[in-house]
Amino acid sequence: MTNDTVYSGGCACDQVRYEITGKPSFIFICHCRNCQRATGNIYATNAWFPHSAVAIKNAELGAHVTTGDSGKPVYHEYCSSCGSPMGMRSDAYPDFRGVRIASLDDPNVLAPVGEVFTRSAVSWIPLHPTLPKFEGQVPDADLLKIMNSY
C-alpha cells in the first residue's frame, strides 16, 4: 500500500461521499458499547487515517457524542439524511479520523489488525481467531508498533 492510495465511500443515500488519500494508521474491530449502539451492530470496524487525509464531500455529517474510556468526547458520525454510520472522531486522538469500513465502496480493501474493547464483546459471536485482542483501548506502546507496521 502506498501513500497515493485513494479510497472512496459514502452513505446509503449517496448524500455523503468521501475520499481518503494515503494509508490507514490503524484498523480495529471495536466491541465497545458506544460503537455497538452507534452502529446498531455487535461491533464496528474502523479504519483510522490522519485527519487531513479524509475529504468529506456533498454534505455535513451529524454526530452523536459519547464519552470514551479516556474521559474525552467521542463523535460517532452519520449521514444527516439517511442515518448511515460513517465514522468517528475522538478528542483522545485529535489528529485522526475513523471511517466505518462498511461505508467504503469496497470494504474488502482494508482489513483489521486487532480487536479492541473485547470485554464488551457479545458472547454469542466468536472473536477473530488470529487477531491481537485488547480488553479496552490499545496501550500507546502497542498502538505505536501497529502504526509502524503499515
What pLDDT shows up at residue 141?
Answer: 86
Average the pLDDT over 69-97 and give the result.
94
Q: Is the pLDDT of residue 81 over 90?
A: yes
Domains of the chain and CATH, by start: 6-121 (2.170.150.70)
Q: Which residue has the higher pLDDT, 121 or 140?
A: 121
User: What amino acid occupies position 22?
Assistant: G
Please give the grid coordinates belonging to residue 123: 458472547
Please compute the mean of the pLDDT values over residues 99-120 and round it to a whole number: 96
Mean pLDDT value across residues 2-17 = 89
Per residue in 41-65, pLDDT (tens digit) is: 999 999 999 999 999 998 889 999 9
- The answer, yes or no, to whether residue 1 has pLDDT greater than 70, is no
**pLDDT above 70: residue 150:** no
**Residue 17 bridge partners (DSSP):** 10, 57
DSSP string, 88-144: EEETTSTTEEEEEGGGBSSGGG---SEEE-GGG--TTSPPPSSS-B-SSSPPHHHHH
3-state SS class at 51: helix
